[in-house]
Structure 1
Amino acid sequence: MGLKKAQVTKAVDALVAKGSILAKEFGKTKIFLPPQTGRPVLSKEEYEASKQKASELQEQCQKEAAELKQLEAELSQLRSVLSEAEIARQTEELKKKLAADEKKLAMLESNAVLITAEERAAAEKALAKTLEAWRKRRSMFKNIWGAISENMDGKQADLFEEIGVETDEAAGADMAEAERLLPSNKRSRR
């Protein structure tokens, strides 16, 4: 609003002086109340009736709050349900995937040759060559690293992380698992 404390204090003091509101002081704290004079005093029956009415209204409010909570939960559940268009789209996608999978299964069940012997041999040769290069580079690194780290303090893993060395384990690579892809007669010894 942009009102300053001095302006508000001055306005409230003017209302107190005029008698529109009352001020009660409790130490440094001031509490402002509307004047109670001129207000009708309730009889005991009227007070009890008002109290009963307030209690009934509170119960009604609690019931409506519970009903509102239930309706909001239902609305949330309805919003999370797929629309007919989304269901139709997903059904189409699943039908296409099922057809592709059934076609692949039929091909596999018919013992059809998926790749030629030459293609398989070429792939095995490329894998063997790659594994051999991997083995040589890993061996060279271990020899060099052994010489460098001979008198170093600290954990090797912490140092690798600090200087950016990625180990086979950190990369999720497993040479033994890769070698199992080769036929047993083409596996080279470590």
Structure 2
Amino acid sequence: CPRGRGGGEAGAPGILLRYLQEQNRPYSAQDVFRNLQREHGLGKAAVVKALEQLAQQGRIREKTYGKQKIYFADQDQFDTVSDADFHRLHAKIVALTAKVQSLQQSCRHMEITPEMQREIQELRKECACYTERLKNIKAATNHVTPEEKEKVYSERQKYCKEWRKHKRMATELCDAILEGYPKSKKQFFEEVGIETDEDYKVMLPDPGGVPGGDWGLKYPGLAALFRLASCSCSSPPSSSIVGRKVQARILGRIQG
């Protein structure tokens, strides 16, 4: 049918009859007009006239509720639905309704388009930064060879081992001094000025692991323990002499 009021009126009965049969549910004239106006260009007067005409011809059914008339398709034209079919369709409707509710709930948690567009722009910028960084790395000429990498890891293992060794010696020295010290260990450390790794929340790294930063430059507590432990070595002899001197110096500060 051509759009427009005149063309809509000419085919209105056929359009309305087909619509009511396809939907197979009751509608008021206002509902039918609102649903079909945009698609078929039907005027409200044409809709009311066509519905009344179809009802008078017995092609649709009409019910009056107060001042409002309801129109629906003639049910005699449809096959009779058995109880089994009815229950099957009802179960299907319940399942589909639950699915719709679940999808609606999922949609509520989805980000709206503007938010996703902002995230896409941020990810593109981040990707561009990494691409540029990768490009610079590939263009660099000072790549680390496998031999150099192995050498660095070997040295790190060596220093981790020394760190652990010197810390153990420093701890043993402090424990020996504390046997005759009248105050607590904490007071002793404060009196002498010893800083431990624990004071700086530092843990001994795994000697076989991958380096995690310039830990050797960050932790003054480690240096303090190294200095203390280096004086407690039993070999060479000069170290023992220095160790005894340091012990005497520490005890002198305590007693003083």
TM-score band by shorter chain is 0.3 to 0.5
> What's the TM-score once normalised by structure 2's chain length?
0.27
Higher relative contact order (CA 8 A, sep 6+): 2
Structure possessing the higher radius of gyration over alpha carbons:
2
